[in-house]
Structure 1
Amino acid sequence: MTSSSHTVQADQIGLRIDKLLADVNEDASRSQVQEWIKEGLVYVDGSQVKSNHKCLEGEKISWEVPEPGELEITAEDIPLSIVYEDSSLLVVNKPKGMVVHPSAGHHTGTMVNALLYHCNDLSGINGVIRPGIVHRIDKDTTGLLVVAKNDQAHLSLAEQLKDKTMSRKYQAIVHGDIQHEYGTIDAPLGRDPKDRQKQAVVRDGRSAVTHFQVIDRFGSFTHVECVLETGRTHQIRVHMKYIGHPLAGDPKYGPRKTLDIEGQALHAGLLGFSHPQTGEWMEFEAPLPDELQTILAKLRK
Structure 2
Amino acid sequence: MVSDAHHHCICSAPAGRGGIRLDVFLSSRFPELSRSRIQTLIKGGKVDINGSPVTKPSQAIRPGDNVSITIPPPKPLGLEPEAIDFDILYEDESLVVVDKPAGLVVHPAPGHDTGTLVHGLLQRCDDLSGIGGMARPGIVHRLDKDTSGAMIVAKTDAAHHLLSWQFKNGLIGKEYLALVHGIVHLPSGAIEAPIARHRMKRREMCVPTSGGRYALSLWERREVYRVGCSLLSVRIKTGRTHQIRVHLAYIGHPVVGDAVYGRGSAGWRRTWSHAKADPPVVERQMLHAFRITFDHPVTRKRLLIEAPLPEDMATVLEALRAAHAEI
Q: For the superposition of Structure 1 and Structure 2, which TM-score range results when normalised by the shorter chain?
A: 0.7 to 0.9
Aligned to 2:276: none
Q: Tell me the residue number matched to 1:65.
A: none
1:159-188, Cα deviation, whole Å (9 max, x unpaired): 111111111100010011111111100111
CA deviation after TM superposition for structure 1 residue 126, in Å: 1.5
User: Which residue pairs with 1:284 in the alignment?
Assistant: 305
Q: Report the alpha carbon displacement of residue 42 of structure 1 after superposing the two structures with TM.
A: 9.3
Instruction: State the SS of the aligned residue for 1:297.
Output: helix
2:94 & 2:103 partners in 1: Cα distance? 27
- Report the counterpart of residue 254 of structure 1 in structure 2: 262
Provide the rounded CA distance (Å) in 2 between the counterparts of 1:3 and 1:223: 45
1:214 to 211, 218, 221: 221
- Pairs within 5 Å for 1:118-157: 118-157=124-163
Residues 16-72 of structure 1, C-alpha deviations (whole Å, 9 max, x = no match): xxxxxxxxx9x9xxxxxxxxxxxxx997x97xxxxxxxxxxxxxxxxxxxxxxxx94
Counterpart of 1:125 in 2: which secondary structure? helix
User: How much does 1:4 deviate?
Assistant: 5.1
Aligned length: 244
Of the three residues 222, 226, 231, the one matched with 2:239 is: 231
1:167 has 2:176 as partner:
no
Q: Equivalent residue of 1:101, what SS?
A: coil
- Deviation string 1:127-150 (CA, Å, 9 cap, x unpaired) is 111000000001111100010001
Shift of 1:79: 2.8
Gap runs ≥5 in structure 1? 8-24, 28-40, 47-70
2:113 is matched with 107
Alpha-carbon deviation of 1:120?
3.2
The answer as to whether partners of 2:217 and 2:244 remain within 8 angstroms in 1 is yes
Matched, 1:79 2:79: no
Unaligned runs of 5+ in 2: 1-21, 29-33, 37-55, 61-76, 269-280, 323-327
Counterparts of 2:81 and 2:150, CA distance in 1: 21
- Counterpart in the other structure of 1:59: none
TM-superposition CA deviations, 1:238-295 (whole Å, max 9, x none)? 0000001110000111114233311100000001111000101111111211111111
CA distance in 2: counterparts of 1:188 and 1:274, whole angstroms: 28
Identical residues among aligned pairs (%): 43
Q: 1:3 to 1:117 in 2, by over 3 A?
A: farther
Matched residue type, 1:95:
P
What is the RMSD computed on CA atoms of the aligned residues? 2.2
Aligned equivalent of 1:10: none
The TM-score, its normalising length taken from structure 1, stands at: 0.76
Counterpart of 1:134 in 2: which secondary structure?
coil
**Secondary structure of 1:258's match?**
helix
Q: Distance in 2 between matches of 1:189 and 1:144?
A: 23
- 2:168 is aligned with what amino acid? K
Q: Secondary structure at the match of 2:241?
A: coil
Structure 1's 42 and 181: CA in aligned 2 closer, same or farther, altered over 3 A? Answer: farther
Q: For residues 154 and 214 of structure 1, what CA distance do their matches in structure 2 show?
A: 34
Q: Residue type matched to 1:290 in 2?
A: E
Q: Which runs of at least 4 in structure 1 moved beyond 2 Å after TM superposition?
A: 2-7, 256-260
Secondary structure of the structure 2 residue equivalent to 1:77: coil
Q: Cα–Cα, structure 1 residues 299 and 4, in superposed 2: closer, same or farther, change >3 Å?
A: farther
Q: Determine which of 174, 186, 190 is the counterpart of 1:180.
A: 186
Larger mean Cα displacement after TM superposition, 152-161 or 73-82: 73-82
Aligned to 2:101: 95
